[in-house]
Structure 1
């Protein structure tokens, strides 16, 4: 089981990101940019070896990213929408990403088996994303997937839309708090 941490400030700003383990040791470095067609995101081990490269191939409401491992296309990440929710698929791995994207709490599963769980953690050193990955060999793809999903979630709405959303849920929160 692997437990990894990424600082939220760096993820939000699309800066170089260090991924650490639970002891605070740097394990991975992420560089590149994403958000436009042709942009690439590269994941390196801390010794400088490139592990995964992700390239955006479709820019739309339902974008697509191709995953490359050792220079060969290994699959793609696509965003989907059904009547109720947004979700992501990783093909041909059959991974499905679902959860509460507003609060950065989601899981990646393959036919019911947990591949990754991501949550937001609040510490005195800042806000971090916590990635719990049961199988270490999935860690590089899961890290890239976490960055892409975070970037494409609805928390990246313009400030006006985000304020409207917060105003809409605030009364529900007050009612719930009063009932407790």
Structure 2
């Protein structure tokens, strides 16, 4: 069993580092995702590519193909919940992994049959956001790290869409480069007076 931490690079938000418990960088994850044909790759520190995920379907139920040295490793697919009984979930074929959890809060697990493959949770450490992964087998570390990053993107995208739907301020910027702002003033409602006897 291995404990790992994935952290976004503060200078480059398209590069993430996978570290062990001593803080040593094991892998780099780079690329773009969220659009059709976008690619995310997992590399060693020396720059050797280990795995690559390509988004082949752009929809609320995305599909990613994972390859290693141009050989197909698997396909990650999102599935809708089943008749309100279960939330949406992901599968990895042909490995027969099922990934379930709370993708908005970013806590999820991957199982093959009844065997735990990994557990992932978003945590705060040293005032930074990290993913804490516990991976049962060393040979699954690369695949689990890449899957975690793909699932994080969809949770973040959903949160950004929700924030865009709920504006928090009624101020409008009327200038292109200057600081002119206009605020809407709402009239206060007249409240009925209560007569005391």
Preserved contact between residue 14 and residue 34 of structure 1 (Cα < 8 Å): no
Tell me the distance in 2 between the aligned counterparts of 1:155 and 1:5: 22
Counterpart of 2:132?
130
Paired position in structure 2 for 1:120:
122
Structure 1 segments unaligned to the other structure (5+ residues): 164-180
Q: Matches of 1:34 and 1:55 in 2, distance apart?
A: 8
TM-score w.r.t. length of structure 2 = 0.76
Identify if the C-alpha distance between structure 1 residues 16 and 162 changes in structure 2 by more than 3 Å, giving closer, same or farther.
farther
- What displacement does 1:158 show? 3.5
What is the RMSD of the two structures over their aligned residues, measured on CA atoms? Answer: 2.0
Give how far 1:14 is off: 4.5
Distance change in 2, residues 1:155/1:117 (3 Å) = farther
Change (3 A) 1:93 1:44: same
What secondary structure does 2:104 align onto? helix
| CA offsets 1:61-85 (integer angstroms, 9 cap, x no match) | 1110000012111110011112331
Counterpart for residue 3 of structure 2:
3
Question: Rg: which structure is higher?
Answer: 2
Q: In structure 2, what is the equivalent of residue 100 of structure 1?
A: 102
Q: Given the superposition, is the C-alpha separation of residues 113 and 157 from structure 1 closer, same or farther in structure 2, using an over 3 Å criterion?
A: farther
Distance across 1 between alignment mates of 2:74 and 2:108:
21
- After TM superposition, give the deviation of residue 94 of structure 1 in Å: 0.4
Q: Give the structure 1 partner of residue 175 of structure 2.
A: none
Per-residue displacement from partner, 1:138-169 (whole Å, max 9, x unpaired)? 01111111111111234353414578xxxxxx
Aligned to 1:63: 62
- Tell me whether 82-91 or 21-30 shows the greater mean CA deviation: 82-91
The aligned residue for residue 167 of structure 1 is none
TM-score, normalised with respect to structure 1 = 0.83
Distance in 2 of aligned mates of 1:141 and 1:99: 18
Is the alpha carbon distance of 1:14 and 1:39 closer, same or farther for their aligned partners in structure 2, counting shifts above 3 Å?
A: farther
Aligned to 1:46: 45
Q: How many residues align?
A: 162
